[in-house]
Amino acid sequence: MNLVKVYTTAGDLEAEFIKGFLHGQGIEAVISQESVAKTLGLTVGRLGEVKVLVPEEQAEEALTLLKAMDAGEFEDSEYPEEPNDE
């Protein structure tokens, strides 16, 4: 499987958010960061960059979804209700 970069951010938290958003839309995503940055906890500059990667065949859909998210198209989305096990 060939992975391509669809998003770059300066920290783990935003990268995890983007990964989760894409997973919620049915797109497999993974996070990639330089190992030295992860080891030393660097969050600035190029060493602090975190990349979100998706399979090449899903890249166009992922980019479309990310643009829609940036445009605010998902702001009023409803979350599915969790089952009540009581």
- Whether 79 is covered by a domain: the verdict is no
pLDDT per position as a tens digit, 30-55: 998 765 555 555 555 566 688 999 99
Q: What is the pLDDT of residues 59-84, one digit of tens each?
A: 999 999 999 998 888 776 665 566 65
Q: Domain containing 18: what range?
A: 3-70
Cα-based distances in Å from 75 to 21, 27, 28, 71: 12, 19, 22, 9
Walk across the sheet containing 30-33 and list its strands. Answer: 3-9, 50-55, 30-33
Domain annotation covers residue 85: no
Total tally of structural domains belonging to the chain: 1
Task: Supply the pTM of this predicted model.
Answer: 0.74
